[in-house]
Amino acid sequence: MAGPTQMRKGYHNLLRPEILQLVPTDAKEILDLGCGTGELGKALKIRQECKVYGIELNKDAAFIAEGNLDNVICDNLNRYDPALSDKRYDCIIFADILEHLINPWGALRKFTAVLKEGGTIVVSVPNLAHPRVIGQLQKGLFRYEPAGILDITHLRFFTKTTLCQMMCNLELKVTNVCASPRPENPIQWCMTAVKPALVETAPVVTIIILARNLWEYTLQCIESIQEYTEVPYRILIVDNASSDKTVEALRVRVEVLHIENTANIGFAAGVNVALEIVHTPYFVLLNNDTIVTQGWLSKMIRLIDKEKDLVLLGPMSNNVSGPQRVPEVPYSDIKSMHAFARDWGKLGANRIQEFHRIVFFCALFKTGVLNKVGYLDEIFDLGNFEDDDYCLRIKKAGLKAAYAEGVFIHHHGSTTFKNENIDFMKSIQTNKALFEKKWGLNGLGK
C-alpha cells in the first residue's frame, strides 16, 4: 500500500481481471482489502448480485472508492481489527496486499476469522522465485524498484510454496493456483482457498504424505487412512511438482490439505515444507505407496506414549529394510493383507523393540522432537539416508527410536523412483557417501 497522501495511477485504480475471475459468482458479501479506487468491486457488482466492502489506506483512493462500493473504511491493515464488526463475508480479497504488511500471517489469520464457513480467500502475491529475480541473486544483486516484484514498499516476499504453507497453516483448503500473466512467466501467483467447516474434535496427528505423480497410489493411501484411522487426524500432502492429475485431484478433495511445489525438491526438503507448519502433538511421515491397516495409529500412539524419551516409532511391513521387515508375507491381494495385518497384530500387540534405525516409509513422531533434533537434513537430495541421519541425531540427543512388532503396514515400495526412472542403487550409493562424510566412514553410533 502506498502512503496515505499520494495516489498512484495504474496502481490504485486497476480493474484486476485475473482476480475478478477467481471470485466466486455466488458470493454475496465481499471484502476487498486494499481496494484502491474500487474498480474491482465495481466490476463485481456489475457481474453479480452482491455487496462489496473495502478497506484502503490511501485517502484519495478511498474517497473515489466510496462511489463504487457499498462501504469503504480508510485505515491501515497492519492495525485494523475486523473482529470489532459483526460482519461476516463470503469472500475476502487480498490482491497484492500481503507483501506490504508487517505481519501478513497474522493479518490473514484475523481476517479468516470473519470469513464464513465455505467462504473463499482470494490472494495474489509477487513471485520472488521469478527467473529475473533469481538471475539477479546469482549476481549478488537485490535491486528494489518503483513497482513490480521488488517494489520498494514490499516488506515480505513469497513463492508458490510459501503461499500454500500460509494457507495450510490456517487450515484453509487451496482450491486453485495460477501463474500470472501466464505459466511460462510467473510474475505473480494467484490463489483461492476455502475455509472448511469446523471439525468437532481437533486433530492430534498430522499425517504428512509426499507425492510426485502416481495419483492412483496416493488415492489408495488416502482412502485407507480414512477407513482405518480412529484417532483425530489431518492429512497434509506436499506435491513435488506432479505432472499427472495429482494436483487437480488434490484441489477438489476438501478433506485434505496440500502444498504445491514448483519443482521436485526431493524427500527431505518436501517433508520439511510440511514440518514447518505442524502444530499437532504428533506427526506421521507416510509414503504415498502405503496402505494402512485397522487401528494402526491408535496402537502406535499408545505405544509411543509408554516412554517419555521415545520420540519415533515405526511399524512392520512387507517391503522395508532391516528388522521391520516381515519376510515372506502370505497374502496376495489387499483384502487378504488386511486379514493378515489383524492376525499379525494379535501376536505382538504390546511389544516394541528399540532400534537405532527406523525407516521413514511410515513413522510416527512426537512433535516435540523438532525442538531437540530439528528438521530433516536436505543434503540427501531426492531420497535415501535422510532417515538414517535423523535416527542418529535422535540417539545423539539422548532420545529413543523403536518399532512396533504388532503394527503392520503394506508398502508397495520405491514406486516414485521406478516411475521417474531414477537409479535407486545409485541414489543409495550417493547418499551413503554423504552420510559417511557427515558422520564418519562407519556411520557413528551404528
pLDDT of 373 strictly over 50 = yes
**For 309-324, what is the mean pLDDT?**
97
pLDDT of 11 strictly over 80 = no
**Residue 1: pLDDT band with limits 50, 70, 90:** very low
Give the pLDDT of residue 51.
98
Instruction: Name 405's Cβ contacts closer than 8 Å, sequence gap at least 6.
Output: 316, 347, 348, 351, 352, 353
**Residue 427: pLDDT band with limits 50, 70, 90:** confident
Q: Tell me the DSSP string of 75-119.
A: --TTT--GGGS---EEEEEEES-GGGSS-HHHHHHHHHTTEEEEE
pLDDT single digits (tens) 173-220: 999 999 999 999 999 999 999 999 988 899 999 999 999 999 999 999
**Residue 4: pLDDT band with limits 50, 70, 90:** very low
**For 309-316, what is the mean pLDDT?**
98
Give the pLDDT of residue 407.
97
Domain borders along the chain are 17-194, 205-439
pLDDT of 79 strictly over 50 = yes
pLDDT of 326 strictly over 90 = yes
pLDDT of 13 strictly over 50 = yes
Report which residue type is found at 58.
N
Q: Tell me the DSSP string of 365-405.
A: EETTHHHHH-S--GGGTTSSSHHHHHHHHHHHTT-EEEEEE
- Counting residues of the chain whose pLDDT is more than 90, the rounded percentage is 85
Measure Cα distances from 375 to 165, 274, 278, 339, 431 in Å. 16, 10, 12, 36, 17
Give the pLDDT of residue 400.
98
Instruction: Name 65's Cβ contacts closer than 8 Å, sequence gap at least 6.
Output: 35, 36, 37, 38, 41, 54, 56, 72
Give CA angle at 201 (198, 203), nearest 5°.
Answer: 95
Out of 3.40.50.10860, 3.40.630.10, 3.40.50.150, 3.30.43.10, the CATH code matching 17-194 is 3.40.50.150
Give the pLDDT of residue 348.
77
DSSP secondary structure code for residue 57 in this structure: S
Give the pLDDT of residue 12.
74
173 neighbors 257 (Cβ within 8 angstroms)? yes
Give the pLDDT of residue 100.
96
pLDDT of 2 strictly over 50 = no
Instruction: Name 137's Cβ contacts closer than 8 Å, sequence gap at least 6.
Output: none
pLDDT of 443 strictly over 60 = no
Give the pLDDT of residue 415.
66
**For 131-142, what is the mean pLDDT?**
96
Give the pLDDT of residue 421.
66
For residues 3 and 104, give the distance between their C-alpha atoms in angstroms, rounded to a whole number: 18
Give the pLDDT of residue 202.
93
Give the pLDDT of residue 417.
59
Hey, what's the cell of 81?
481489527
Q: Average pLDDT, whole number, for the chain?
A: 93
Q: Does domain 205-439 have CATH number 3.90.25.10?
A: no
CA 111 to chain centre: 20
pLDDT of 368 strictly over 50 = yes
Give the pLDDT of residue 287.
96
Nearest in space to 102 (alpha carbons), one of 135, 76, 78, 67: 78
**Residue 8: pLDDT band with limits 50, 70, 90:** low
pLDDT single digits (tens) 234-263: 999 999 999 999 999 999 999 999 999 999
Give the pLDDT of residue 3.
43
